[in-house]
């Protein structure tokens, strides 16, 4: 199964409905999915490039089990390691734009630090210019990060769900995610922005609120994915490679 022969729907994503259906999907097992989401994110952060992919795939494996009406166990999260290589490839590709964005920022900081006088204390005017230049670049960098992050999420929003659901390679998942995202751009952008807005509200609620919303955000993406990629018989889906053949 490749991006060339996989069909998907268009114009089917309605952000508010996806969030409502995502909540309805997990509400009777909310704390299970809360634990799955939090542990998945925490493990991802230990070695981001290496562990993020399997954990993201594992989260969506659990959500798809729930969508099929199957019993979900916490241990299902770690079945994402059955798709270690595809998840790793998708994660590396997703990280490239961020790394490219960071390079000029690091170069700027190194250049600024090189202009700091060696020894003595800078005058008030010189210190003010230094602080303002740093602040200005930080603000510009923050805006660029926000824009790039949204663009990256638009491209990769279906990559990990595709690996979990269709068992395709990491590169094929990214290609197909990009095609499906481009064809459903208004709905996906609306969903990402609405989830981000609710997340910001969660941060304002003593910060921890965003973590409680996390499983709903994942569930809304699973709903959006299933609207775009209807379920197909499992007999048509290739099984994941055994752990011994990851390489």
Which range (69-78, 133-142, 202-211) has the least confidence?
133-142
Domain ranges of the chain: 15-245
Does pLDDT of 138 surpass 90?
A: no
Say if CB 137 and CB 107 are below 8 A apart. no
Q: How many CA atoms lie within 13 A of 122 on its CB side?
A: 12
Q: Answer whether residue 247 shows pLDDT above 50.
A: no
Distance (Å, rounded) from C-alpha 109 to C-alpha 43? 30
Residue 244 confidence (pLDDT) above 50: no
pLDDT band at 26, cuts 50/70/90? very high
The per-residue pLDDT for range 28-65, each reduced to its tens digit, is 999 999 999 999 999 999 988 899 999 999 999 999 99
What's the Cα-to-Cα distance from 6 to each of 2, 65, 83, 162, 179, rounded to whole Å?
6, 21, 20, 11, 11
pLDDT at 144: 75
Provide the pLDDT for residue 207.
76
- Percent of all residues in the chain with a pLDDT value above 90, rounded to a whole number: 62
Task: Evaluate whether 58 touches 79 at the Cβ level (below 8 Å).
Answer: yes
Average of per-residue pLDDT values in the chain: 85
Arithmetic mean of pLDDT, 126-147: 68
pLDDT digits (tens, 9 = 90+) for 68-107: 999 999 999 999 999 999 999 999 999 998 888 778 777 7
Residue 203: what pLDDT?
A: 82
What pTM did the predictor assign? Answer: 0.83
């Amino acid at each position: 199964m490749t991006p060339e022969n996989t069909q998907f729907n268009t114009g089917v994503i309605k952000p508010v409905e996806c969030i409502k259906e995502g909540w309805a999907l997990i509400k009777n097992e909310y704390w299970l999915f809360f634990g799955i989401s939090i542990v998945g994110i925490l493990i991802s952060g230990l070695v981001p490039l290496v562990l993020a992919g399997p954990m993201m795939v594992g989260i969506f494996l659990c959500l798809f089990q729930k969508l099929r009406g199957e019993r979900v166990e916490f241990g299902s999260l770690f079945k994402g390691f059955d798709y270690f290589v595809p998840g790793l490839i998708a994660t590396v590709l997703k990280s490239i734009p961020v790394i490219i964005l960071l390079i000029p920022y690091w170069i700027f900081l190194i250049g600024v630090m090189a202009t700091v006088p060696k020894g003595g204390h800078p005058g008030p005017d010189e210190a003010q210019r230094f602080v303002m230049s740093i602040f200005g670049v930080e603000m510009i960098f923050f805006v660029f990060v926000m824009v790039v992050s949204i663009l990256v999420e638009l491209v990769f929003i279906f990559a990990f769900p595709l690996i979990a659901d269709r068992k395709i390679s990491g590169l094929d998942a990214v290609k197909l995610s990009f095609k499906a995202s481009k064809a459903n751009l208004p709905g996906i952008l609306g969903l990402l922005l609405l989830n981000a807005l609710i997340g910001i509200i969660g941060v304002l609620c003593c910060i921890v609120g965003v973590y409680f919303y996390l499983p709903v955000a994942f569930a809304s993406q699973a709903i959006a994915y299933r609207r775009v990629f209807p379920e197909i018989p499992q007999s048509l889906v290739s099984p994941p490679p055994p752990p011994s053949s990851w390489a």
